[in-house]
Amino acid sequence: MPIEKSAGAVVFLRGLKGKIEYLLTQHGPDGNWGFSKGLIEKGEKLENTALREVKEEAGLAGVKLIDGFKETIRIFFKVKFEYQLERGMKMGETVLKFITYFLAESKNKEVKLSLEHSDYAWLEFEAALEKLKFKTDKETLKKANEFLNRISTKSI
C-alpha cells in the first residue's frame, strides 16, 4: 500500500478582545473545509512544509509556529486525481496518509487564496468546528483550541 506524508497548520489569530479565530479554507474540487496542508517535498522538514503550505494556499507569510503543538493523524483514501497518478499511484488504489499539523499564529486576516481553494473564513471555535466535515479535522481543531486555552491561562 502506498504511503503519503503531508504537513500543515491550524492557523489562528487573536481578534478583538483576545478572541481566537481559526482560518479554514474550502478546497475547490470537493468543497470540503479544512486547514492548509500539503505534501512534504524531498529534504523538507515538517515545520517548513507547514509554513510553505500556509503561504502557498492562503497567502499568509510571517506566521509563527507555536511551540509544543504537533498532531499527526492517519487516514486512508482512494486514488482519484490526476496528480496522484503522476506520482505512480493507480486509480482506485488505497493510500495510507499521515498528516502532521502544527499550530500557527497569524497577525493579519489578509488571505490570498490559491487556485485550488474556492473560499476561506476566519471563525471562532464553535463555528469552525461546525464547518468541518471530517472527524479527524474536528479532533485536531479541538486539541489546538484546548492547547491555546491552556497556554493562555498559564501566561496570565
CB of 76 within 8 A of CB of 99?
Answer: no
Give the domain extent around 113. Answer: 3-154
Q: What is the pLDDT along the chain (156 residues), one digit of tens a residue?
A: 889 999 999 999 997 788 999 999 998 767 899 999 999 999 999 999 999 999 999 999 899 999 999 999 999 999 987 878 888 889 999 999 999 999 999 999 999 999 889 999 999 999 999 999 999 999 999 999 999 999 876 553
Q: Give the separation between CA 103 and CA 100, rounded to whole angstroms.
A: 10
Contact 124/107 with Cβ under 8 angstroms? no
Question: What's the grid cell of residue 135?
Answer: 472527524
pTM of the full structure: 0.91
**CATH code (residue 33):** 3.90.79.10
Q: How far apart are CA 52 and CA 8, in angstroms?
A: 9
Structural domains in the chain (count) = 1
Question: Is the CB of residue 108 less than 8 Å from the CB of residue 13?
Answer: yes
Please, what is the Cα angle at 129 between 125 and 130, to 5 degrees?
120
